[in-house]
Amino acid sequence: KTKSLSLIMNLTREQILNEIDRIDNQLSPENLHCDGEITRAQAQVKYNRLMKERNRLEKLLGEPVEYRG
């Protein structure tokens, strides 16, 4: 679930990087597709949501973070 912006604004650099790691883990093919239990369209919606959250965290951090999935 996406965290509220006010909560994200109070995260430390380490916490932001941990959140990005969590997202990267969820972006792995087996997690993204729920081991084949969701449709391709559902996986795309999930991917878009996760990338939006990841991009917002990178912006808050002030620098891009290499994908570590």
The per-residue pLDDT for range 11-59, each reduced to its tens digit, is: 899 999 999 999 999 999 999 999 999 999 999 999 999 999 999 999 9
pLDDT of 7: 59
Residues 6+ apart with CB under 8 A from 40: none
Model pTM greater than 0.75?
Answer: yes
What per-residue confidence (pLDDT) applies to 31?
95
Distance from C-alpha of 18 to C-alpha of 5, rounded to nearest angstrom: 16
